[in-house]
Amino acid sequence: MSFKRSTELKTLNNYFGREDNQIVVLYGDRFSGKTQLLRDFLKGKEFFYYSARACSQEEQLKLWHDELRDSLSRNAEIKEGYQGIISAMMENPVEEGKRVIVVDEFQNIIKTGTGFMDVVVQGAHSKWGDRPVMFILCSSSVYWVENQMVDKLKELAFEISGLIRLNDLKFLDFTRHFKNYELQSSVEAYAVIGGSPLMWEFWDDTRPVSDNICNLILRSGAPLNEYGRHILPSELREPQVYNTILATLAQGKNKLNDIYKYTGFSRAKISVYIKNLIELEIVEKIDSVNTAGHENVQKGIYRITDPFTRFWYKYVFRYFSKLVFMSPDRFYTKYIAPTFKSYTAYCFTDVCAEYLDILNQMDKLGFRYTQRGVWVGKVGTIDTVAMDDDGRTLVALCNWENPTMNYADYEWLMFCVKQAKLNVNEIFLFSAGDFDLELKQEDMINEHLTLIDGSQL
């Protein structure tokens, strides 16, 4: 069952419903569910679709010309160049209503050719035969759209009616989609495939998480096994360096100096390659929330952003050759199962932060915070620190691995709060399991403390 992006679908239909012509840029990574969204949107509409290849302009025009000829009436004439192609689609007879022209991976045209965007803009300003049109330019290169597209298009970028980015879906969406999973299985599965709708289509929530990992990722020729082998974008040079850095980060060596000691690469080289990975949104830098205790903060922490990428480099990339002669079940038992519970703890922390964001949006907290992050100390970490513009502060600690969160965990959180030099207004303790009696008693007398267990989540 595919996931429908109802919000983005509504946005596209709003653009389509306008009387004037539009140029909309729709973008998201290759597992964002962009194609399914287009299928849902284009139902019942007259449209032309072309997926641009990474090739020369001459070959691009030939491919598009040949594909378009099969879509038009037999006597239709297609003149040369992008002008001829766009004109042929615009002038194709239609009974009534707006038509849609979709150009997928349009960056492949912009990068190698000239004149395409001029023709699109001309088409948006014109009405061949008084027929309105909506251009949808799609891309799976998020970094190119957000960092290079405007420089490439120059003043033509101002002709774009709107940009729609397909972000990863939230854990709440995940739980609504996979209704057969309880909290533990949901967190474990989300820690593997994250918020990518296309990956969700492969996952079967009537089977255990371990079975899905074995069948979809570990088995040779399985869909997510093939994706794991080609995680890095093809345009990156020296993939061996990127693979080494990602494998190092996946093992928990997340500081520049740790990567330097482990890989032997120079610090300058590591910095350049991590910068590239950050721009591609494969890696992120974890900056601690700014507090008065800045001398106790650990700086320069990096982590892999995408859950599937993190899982692949943590387990599969590291022991890849073992899969040649070892069954997926045996591989899972030996290399994944022993550490999988602790590995998924990061995801539970993200889930708890999302829970707080929902409460914050609903004004269910003592104040409405405007910033949220993590405090990473030289000794200890505060999973969530959230503040409003007046300095009121909320902190949270999350327990995923232990069956019971105890009073000592609360004391440790307060030690970290002291290190961060925070004046705290609200304290949230999250536990996937239960809380000990002493914590429950503290909750009864401490108006600033809130306990959230797995059943509430």
Query: Which tens digit of pLDDT belongs to each residue from 167-226?
Result: 999 999 999 999 999 999 999 999 999 999 889 999 999 999 999 999 999 999 999 998
Q: Are 183 and 457 in contact (CB under 8 A)?
A: yes
pLDDT at res. 325: 93
pLDDT per residue over 364-415, tens digit each?
A: 999 999 999 999 999 999 999 999 999 999 999 999 999 999 999 999 999 9
Q: How would you list the strands of the sheet with 22-27, edge to edge?
A: 46-51, 99-104, 133-139, 22-27, 162-165
Say whether pLDDT at 2 is over 70.
Answer: no
* DSSP symbols for 45-101: SEEEEEE--SS-HHHHHHHHHHHHHHHS-TT----SHHHHHHHHHHHS--SSS-EEE
- Cα–Cα distance for residue pair 232/84, rounded to 1 Å: 36
Q: Residue 202, Cα to own-chain centre: how many angstroms?
A: 17
Percent of the chain with pLDDT over 90: 77
pLDDT at res. 430: 98
Q: Are 131 and 125 in contact (CB under 8 A)?
A: no
Say whether pLDDT at 233 is over 90.
Answer: no
- Cα–Cα distance for residue pair 123/159, rounded to 1 Å: 11
Element (H, E) at 429: strand 426-431
Nearest Cα neighbor of 214 from 366, 353, 115, 330 is 330
pLDDT at res. 116: 94
- Cα–Cα distance for residue pair 226/223, rounded to 1 Å: 5
CATH number of 346-453: 3.40.1350.10
Q: What is the mean pLDDT of the chain?
A: 92
Buried residues in 275-299 as b, exposed as e (16+ CB within 10 A): ebbeebebbeeeebbebebeebbbe
pLDDT per residue over 260-314, tens digit each?
A: 999 999 999 999 999 999 988 899 999 888 887 778 888 889 999 999 999 999 9
- Cα–Cα distance for residue pair 341/201, rounded to 1 Å: 24
Q: What's at 371, amino acid-wise?
A: Q
- Structure-token pair, residue 49: 């679709």
* Domains 6-165 and 172-343 alike in fold: no
Backbone phi and psi for residue 57, each to the nearest 5 degrees, phi listed first: -60, -40
pLDDT at res. 74: 67
CATH number for 172-343 (one of 1.10.10, 1.10.1740, 1.25.40, 2.40.160): it is: 1.10.10
- Cα–Cα distance for residue pair 288/294, rounded to 1 Å: 9
For domain 6-165, the CATH architecture is 3-Layer(aba) Sandwich (3.40)
- Cα–Cα distance for residue pair 39/136, rounded to 1 Å: 13
Which DSSP category does 373 fall into?
Answer: E
Q: What's at 147, amino acid-wise?
A: N
pLDDT at res. 287: 85
Residue ranges per structural domain of the chain: 6-165, 172-343, 346-453
pLDDT per residue over 101-118, tens digit each?
A: 999 999 999 998 778 999
Q: How confident is residue 236, by pLDDT bands cut at 50, 70 and 90?
A: confident
Which pTM does this prediction carry?
0.86
State how beta strands 381-387 and 393-399 pair.
antiparallel
290 or 449, higher pLDDT? 449
pLDDT at res. 230: 86
